[in-house]
Amino acid sequence: MNRLRYAAVAALVLHLLAGASLAFVLRHGLETNPDLQSRLAFVVNHRTLWIAGWLTWTAAAIAFLFFNVAFAAVHQRKGMPRVSLRFAVLLTAVAIAPDLSA
């Protein structure tokens, strides 16, 4: 149960960090900024910030996968069907594959 608690806190903290990076950094280079030239200039001129902002989202996705694995491990012992738990973990892994490949 401690592992699940740690996974939940890690996922929360990393998602808060990813949200902050979206609100303060990434918004300048996304379509929420209607000026295409400004967006492109931001991405080119602040490449390190741009990459760091997206890495926070990747870390948040991995933290969510870790949470699902911990959740499945705890609830498997409590008699929940293994197929459902494995499906949730596999679905999460498939969902973050594009994040990791980008």
Q: What is the pLDDT of residues 20-43, one digit of tens each?
A: 999 999 999 999 999 999 999 999
Q: Would the pLDDT of 88 be above 90? A: no
Contact indicator for 3, 66 with CB cutoff of 8 Å? no
- Could you tell me the pTM of the whole model? 0.85
Q: Domain residues of the chain, as ranges? A: 2-101
Q: Which two tokens stand for residue 57?
A: 């989202």
Burial of 99 (C-beta count, 10 Å sphere; 0-12/13-18/19+): middle
